[in-house]
Structure 1
Amino acid sequence: MLLYILRRILILVPVYIGLTLSTFILIRLVPGDAVEIMMGERMVDPELHAQALARLGLDKPLPVQYWDYLTGILQGNFGESFRTRTPILQDFFAHFVPTLELALCAITIASIVGISLGILAALRRGTWLDYTLMSGALAGYSMPIYLLGPILTGIFAHYLGLLPVSGVISVAQFLDVKPLYGSWLLGSLSSGEPGAFWNVVKHFILPSVALSTIPLAMIARMTRSAMLEVLDEDYVRTARAKGLSPKRVILIHVMRNALITVVTVVGLQMATLLAGAIITETIFSWPGVGNWLLDGFFTRDYPIVQNGILLVATALILVSLMIDILYGFINPRIRHSS
């Protein structure tokens, strides 16, 4: 296992180099001048424009700019935002923690409900319940978030008035809850106010449910498939022939072997949620990393886009590595080697 982890870390070196090069080139292919966008085309005279380019290092040749960018990363310096002059790492964690909280809430809902529905459908395969659950999962997988989000908002926020529409900022300002390392959930817990936590949690419900629908459907269908594959194995029939209780057969012999596939799907969906929650964050005004990167792209804030994508990719790779390590604990037959 140790050799496998070391090998994965070594593989990351060319991956990171390719990622830095691609983001560096692609954002500069987009038309638009970063200085003009920041200061306004009509307000920039040639001298001020040249000074701003020199200050930001944009007057250098592209290979020199890339080398400076790469050496800065190797030294742990991710630079500052062109517009706000705040460190990229500080901005990233301030926006990534709300995204991580939202993704964790969504994947928790998707895992609990999806695995339960998948097990139930597998145990009742071929019945009306199986067809109903899988049809519902297919409908949930087919429903785009940009359509589901406004529907949930219209029903539960505008029509019923049960849940708030926008993200955590408004409720934090209303309750005067200070975030802890960008975490509104932890900030509400540390505030000491009895209703603060519930008021913040209410803001998580709609975006978490909207974000969890597609992973829930995927997890439910893959759990059912994995369960059906394991249920037909000889060792399961042997366990039943020995007189073991159905509960023990399902939990010990079936689920333990089916979890390999389920853990893979859950991990991949978690990685997808971390990187692909831009639409949900936009609909529900969520102060996450998706909106931050999108804003940096439209304003040509190169350090935000370049280093933000790199840091998000690092989080995704760590999630993937943790899943691989978890395999060995779930099923001792799996061994990784170099």
Structure 2
Amino acid sequence: MLIYLGRRLNLLVITLLILCIASYILAFLVPGDPLINLSGNPSPSADQSAQLRLMYALDQGYVAGFWQYLKLTLAGNWGLSLTSQNPVFQDILQFLPASLELSFYAMLISLLVGLPLGIMAGLKHRKFADMGILSVSLMGFSVPVFWLALLLILIFALQWGMLPISGRLSLLYEVPHQSGFMLIDILLADISDKSAVLNDAIRHLVLPTLSLSIVTSALVIRLTRRSVINVMSSDYIKAAYAKGLSHAQVFWRHGMKNALLPIMPQLAMQFTVLLTNAMIIEVIFSWPGIGEWLIQAIYQRDFPAIRGGMLAVSSLVVIFTIAVDIIIRLIYPLSKRQFHAQV
């Protein structure tokens, strides 16, 4: 286990180092002065330019410059945004919680919907219920996320007028920023008519969350169905039936945990897919997350923000993926070997 942890941590460090190298090279590849792309100062004076060149070690070669850039990155000094003139790291901390909140709620709905339907389809293998659930999941898995989002806007917002189209909260309400997660901030805030504000935030959350969760729910259904089918056709399940156990006893005692444990890593990895899809949804619904912030940075040619956002999102995905892999290995050591029954 220690060797495995050492390999994963080594992979994490190497991958993050490669990401830092790529972000540093990006400052020299995009149009403009590399000093401006690194610092975010659009028009530095002669003294400021000299100080910045010394700070980023641009006159000492690429190796020394990258080493200095790495130290500044680890210290949280990612330069300034060309448009807002705020620190890039501060903007990322401000907009990233909105993306995480959207991805978390979408993942929660996907599990609440996908796991029961996948279990039902697996238990009713090759029956009408299985064929119906599998057909619906195939349709949901085949629909592009952006097209589904536009379709939901057309139906629920424009035609029926039931739900808002954009934003996290109506302009009538103002919630102090504390954690960055809107529902948590509303519960923590000392404001009047808190129930109305909470209801408005949930209504704004419905369409983006549905757009994300439908596609992921279809994948969860397919993964769970296949695992249940494989487990329920295993020899130890047949032996349990031979002992005289009922169908419910066999499934809940032997089938359930053996069906869910193998797909836990795959389900956990879907959070990173949700996070990247959320960046598309944020643009459509004007959701103030990291995706919307990055798209605006691209439109305005804000290269320091583009570089910092790329580094932040890719690092988050890598850290989460390896952390989930380690956690799954700790709680389920057979995940990297052949699967055995947990009787």
Structure 1 residue 237, shift from structure 2 partner: 1.3
| Contact 1:236 1:249 (C-alpha < 8 Å) held by counterparts | yes
For the aligned residue pairs, the C-alpha RMSD in angstroms reads 2.9
Amino acid at match of 2:118: G
Unaligned runs of 5+ in 1: 38-43
Give the 3-state SS of the residue equivalent to 1:114 in structure 2: helix
Question: 1:103 and 1:70 mapped to 2: Cα distance?
Answer: 29
Deviates more, 1:261-270 or 1:195-204: 261-270
Aligned to 1:40: none
Question: 1:266 and 1:335 mapped to 2: Cα distance?
Answer: 16
Residues 44-64 of structure 1: CA deviation (Å, up to 9, x unaligned): 9xxx57758667659946826
Task: Choose from 176, 179, 184 the match for 1:178.
Answer: 176
Amino acid at match of 1:241: A
Aligned to 2:320: 319
TM (norm. structure 1) is: 0.85
| Contact 1:293 1:308 (C-alpha < 8 Å) held by counterparts | yes
Unaligned runs of 5+ in 2: 338-343
Q: 1:97 to 1:255 in 2, by over 3 A?
A: same
Structure 1 residue 72, shift from structure 2 partner: 1.1
Q: 1:264 to 1:204 in 2, by over 3 A?
A: same
Matches within 5 A, 1:51-130: 57=53, 60=58, 63=62, 65-130=65-130
| Contact 1:93 1:181 (C-alpha < 8 Å) held by counterparts | no
Question: 2:177 and 2:74 mapped to 1: Cα distance?
Answer: 30
Aligned to 1:20: 20
Structure 1 residue 145, shift from structure 2 partner: 1.6
Structure 1 residue 32, shift from structure 2 partner: 5.6
Aligned to 1:263: 264
Question: 2:112 and 2:165 mapped to 1: Cα distance?
Answer: 25
Residues matched between the structures, number: 325
Residues 274-316 of structure 1: CA deviation (Å, up to 9, x unaligned): 2332220011000111122233334343432333333223322
Question: 1:329 and 1:228 mapped to 2: Cα distance?
Answer: 26
Question: 2:258 and 2:327 mapped to 1: Cα distance?
Answer: 13
Aligned to 2:9: 9
Aligned to 2:280: 279
Give the 3-state SS of the residue equivalent to 1:175 in structure 2: coil
| Contact 1:164 1:202 (C-alpha < 8 Å) held by counterparts | yes
Aligned to 1:158: 158
TM (norm. structure 2) is: 0.83
Deviates more, 1:28-37 or 1:203-212: 28-37
Deviates more, 1:180-189 or 1:204-213: 180-189
| Contact 1:293 1:305 (C-alpha < 8 Å) held by counterparts | yes
Amino acid at match of 1:11: L
| Contact 1:78 1:89 (C-alpha < 8 Å) held by counterparts | yes
Matches within 5 A, 1:194-209: 194-209=195-210
Q: 1:107 to 1:238 in 2, by over 3 A?
A: same
Question: 1:202 and 1:92 mapped to 2: Cα distance?
Answer: 25
Q: 1:113 to 1:230 in 2, by over 3 A?
A: same
